[in-house]
Amino acid sequence: MSITLIRDARVLTQDAAGTEYACASILVDGQRIAALGPGVDHPAPDRVIDARGMLAMPGLINGHFHSPGNLMCGALTDMPLELFMLFEVPPGGEGRVDARLAYVQTLLGALEMLKGGVTAVHDDPYHNPAPEPEVVSAIMRAYADAGLRATVSINHPNRAEPDKYPYLAGLLPPATIAAMRATRLWSAAEITDLYRWFHATWHGAADGRLRVAVSNSAPQRVSDDYFGALSDFSRSHDLPFDIHMLETRLQRVYGQEVLGRSLIQDVRARGFLDERMLVIHAIWVDQDDIDALGEAGCTVAHNPVCNLKIGSGVMPFRRLVRRGVPIALGTDERNTDDSVNLWGAMKMAGLIHKIAERDDRDWPSAAEVLGCATRGGARGMRLAGQIGELSVGAQADLILVDLDTLPFTPLNDLKRQLVFCETGASVRLTMVAGEVVVENGRVLTVDEAALKAEARELALEHADALAATTSAARTLEPHYRAMLERAARVDVGMERRAGPMFP
Ligand SMILES: [Zn+2]
């Protein structure tokens, strides 16, 4: 076990009491913080890091992410989710990814996160046409090699495409519906077997840095028994349960028209809503939904850049906070953000709610936004108290931010400048589980130049698969547009997007 002494930093602990120090030292023993405060010292540390002029704070936590989008930054036209997904997870299963590609693209995203001061990610990788153990393992190996902390699920829905949406079955040509219905759907037993293997193989790997989460993608995308099996697995192993709910207006319409109640009320009535759930997006929620989330103890993952990029709308931040719902902050995927820069997500979270809340006292403060990017993310990963804060006994997942940079000159208000001025460029050191992974802009775990070269090469090789995806998507697009048009005429009794502002 090596001992590192980080000496004389300004410290923002993000602990429950909000403790800050103008000058303090942090003693890291192995993976954990052994001591913290002014006057902390050690007679013979293995390494001393002089942190004068630096801010030590918890590493940021990317609270929601899909690594399979990692090669697609800037690749897709901005469109609403229901069209967008045709180009990224086409229902025909085009665009299969092999283990090497999965490894390289996961590593690429991990590097961008580590360099930007992200020390943990909650990844929900989707698998098209179906999950393969070698690909799942390649993703985990990438996180193990990168040195990033990761909680990872397997996102693989099992309902036929026309059943996931309102109206679609009546809009698609019969031959297309028949082809979609011919797709092999996984059974509850199959997904449970895969999760059993995944949990036994990877949960707690890399000295505990890697953990398993359960995902059902979204309630309307899975059958009842499948949902039940996934929920049981999450409960019996106490794992986070990733679920996208009410991201888009169309999903609100689905609940109203198909279920006769909102998706969240439906999940609650079926007994699945619980404190392990990471409810992703929660935009088109009403007060009853928010009350249900609060009562069940769910965490919500807020992805403001993604929500704006694909026009989903604005999550009711203040109403959720008022009901006591913890909020994690995520970038979502690298084709809907189009980065994995949590500083950008923080700034957007600090800005977007101003077009939604009339009363400025309801706007999120910089301190709240920082809380979402640290403690909130930890809560979503079921690691509260262990990461997302600097405290004795917590994991040594921390970053050093250079305060001698333009974003902090002059230093007027630390938290506001972290949220609104910093871009990640001032991060000088990233430590995960006591290991220095990035120092002075250089990643120590991976050969970045070789990785980028291979990523470019694999992206070229994968171009044909992407072209097949695009052409399949173009064929389906008019029918999905017709579905959106029809749903647009349904009154859902709420608005989550700014209306026309200009005459
Ligand atoms: Zn997502």
Mean model confidence pLDDT for the chain:
96
What pLDDT sits at residue 337?
79
Distance 197 CA to ligand 1 centre (A): 24
442 domain-assigned: no
Number of folded domains in the chain? Answer: 1
pLDDT at 326: 98
Residue 479: is it exposed, middle or buried by C-beta count within 10 angstroms (0-12/13-18/19+)?
Answer: middle
- Taking the centre of ligand 1 as the mean of its atom positions, its distance from the CA of residue 47, in whole angstroms, is 40
For the four alpha carbons of 96, 99, 104 and 108, in that order, the dihedral sign comes to positive
Residue 250 is predicted with a pLDDT of: 98
97 vs 38, 100, 128, 137, 201, CA distance in Å?
Answer: 51, 8, 8, 13, 21
Going 26 to 8 to 402 to 437, the CA torsion angle's sign is negative
Chain centroid to CA 449: 26
What are the tens digits of pLDDT across the range 46-82? 999 999 999 999 999 999 999 999 998 888 889 999 9
* Ligand 1 midpoint to CA 242 (Å): 9
Residues 6+ apart with CB under 8 A from 190: none
Q: Does residue 147 lie in a domain region? A: yes
Going from the Cα of 66 to the center of ligand 1, the distance in angstroms, rounded, reads 6
Q: Going by C-beta distance under 8 Å and a sequence separation of 6 or more, which residues neighbour residue 164?
A: 157, 218, 220, 221
CA gap 449, 454 in Å, rounded: 9
Note whether residue 503 is domain-resident: no
Alpha-carbon distance of 60 to 340, in angstroms, equals 11
Residue 43 lies in a domain: no
b/e map 142-164, b = 16+ CB within 10 Å:
bbbebbbbbbbbbbbbbbbbbeb
Residue 65 alpha carbon to ligand 1 centre in Å: 6
Examine residue 432 and state whether it is found in any structural domain, yes or no. no
pLDDT of residue 498: 87
Task: Report CA-CA distances (Å) from 464 to 85, 95, 207.
Answer: 18, 8, 39
- The residue among 310, 334, 305 whose CA lies nearest residue 85 is 310
In a domain, 421, yes or no: no
Measured between alpha carbons, how far is residue 368 from residues 125, 237, 329, 388 in Å? 28, 31, 11, 13
Check: CB of residue 231 under 8 Å from CB of residue 272.
yes
The pLDDT assigned to 239 comes to 98
Collect the ranges in the chain with pLDDT lower than 70: none
| CA 187 / ligand 1 centre spacing (Å) | 23
For residue 343, what are the domain limits? Answer: 59-396
DSSP string over 55-96: EEEEPEEEEEE-GGGTT-TTTS----HHHHHHHHS-TT--S-
Q: Is residue 462 part of a domain?
A: no
Measure 408 CA to ligand 1 centroid, in angstroms: 33
Identity of the residue numbered 19: T
Q: How far is the CA of 56 from the centre of ligand 1 (A)?
A: 30
* Matching residue, tokens 């990692």: 70
Note the pLDDT of residue 163. Answer: 96
How many angstroms separate the CA atoms of 71 and 466, rounded? Answer: 11
- In angstroms, the CA 98 to CA 138 distance is 9
How many angstroms separate the alpha carbon of residue 280 from the centre of ligand 1?
A: 7
344 Cα: distance to centroid of ligand 1 (angstroms): 17
Give the CATH number for residue 361: 3.20.20.140
pLDDT computed for residue 252 by the predictor: 98
In a domain, 158, yes or no: yes
Write the DSSP assignment of 230-282 as a string of letters: HHHHHHHHT--EEEEES-SHHHHHHIIIIISS-HHHHHHHTT---TTEEEEE-
What is the 244 CA–ligand 1 centroid distance (Å)? 7
C-alpha 397/C-alpha 434 separation (Å) is 7
Distance CA 276, CA 239 (A): 7
Rg, the chain, Cα only: 22
C-alpha of residue 151 to centroid of ligand 1, in Å? 14
Closest Cα to residue 320, out of 348, 287, 347?
287
Would you state the pLDDT for residue 427?
98
Whole-angstrom distance, CA of residue 292 vs CA of residue 318: 16
Q: Is the CA virtual torsion 89, 348, 240, 390 positive or negative?
A: positive
Query: Ligand 1 center to residue 18 CA distance, Å?
Result: 30
Residue 439 backbone phi and psi in degrees, to 5: -140, 130
Cα separation of 176 and 179, whole Å?
Answer: 5
The Cα–Cα gap between 321 and 112 comes to: 30
State CA 381 to chain mean position distance: 10
Predicted local confidence at residue 144, as pLDDT: 98
